[in-house]
Amino acid sequence: MNCLFCKIVNGEILSEKIYEDEAAFAFLDIHPLSPGHTVLVPKVHAENILDLPEAAVGPLFLAVKKVTATLNLALKPHGFTIGINHGKVSGQAIDHLHIHLIPRFEGDGGGSIHSVVKNPPQESVVAIKEKIIKFI
C-alpha cells in the first residue's frame, strides 16, 4: 500500500511517535499549528470514518481520550480543538482517517470549529431533520 500514514504506522517512515496501542498510532504533526499538535490514526487503513470498521471505532476514540489526557498533563494547554477533515473539500490531504489533537492556548489566534465554514442552510432546521431521520 502506498499510504503515507500506513508507512508511518509500519515504521517505514520515521515519525515523532508519542503513543501506540493495538488500534491506534499517534505522532506529532510535522507542520504543527501549536505545541503538541498531534495526528492520531487507526492502524487499520480506512479512508474516512465511514470506512472504519465498527469494531475499530471505540478503541480509536479511547486512544484519542488517552492521548488528549497525556498532552494535557505534559503541556498544560487551556483547551483543545479535536477534529477530522473528512474528504478533500474539508481539507483532508491524506486518504487515511486521521484525527488532529490541537492543544489550544489563550491568545493563540485560533478560532472554534464554528469558524471553519460559513454556509448556513437555506432550509429550516426541521426540514433538514426530516431528511436525515429517514435514514436512521
Residues 66/72/77/83 CA torsion (nearest 10 deg):
0
Residues 42/77/79/36 CA torsion (nearest 10 deg):
-30
CB 68 within 8 A of CB 101: yes
Query: Is 37 part of the annotated catalytic residue set?
Result: no
Tally Cβ neighbours within 10 Å of residue 81.
18
**Where are any strands of DSSP class E within the chain?**
17-20, 24-28, 38-42, 79-83, 99-104
Residue 24's pLDDT is 98
Residue 16's pLDDT is 98
Residue 130's pLDDT is 95
pTM across the whole model: 0.94
Domains of the chain listed by start with CATH number? 4-133 (3.30.428.10)
Active-site position among 31, 96, 98, 100: 98
CB 26 within 8 A of CB 43: no
CB 104 within 8 A of CB 77: yes
**pLDDT values of the chain reduced to their tens digit, one per residue, 136 residues:** 799 999 999 999 999 999 999 999 999 999 999 999 999 999 999 999 999 999 999 999 999 999 999 999 999 999 999 999 999 999 999 999 999 999 999 999 999 999 989 999 999 999 999 999 999 9
Residue 1's pLDDT is 72
- Residue type (1 letter), 83: G
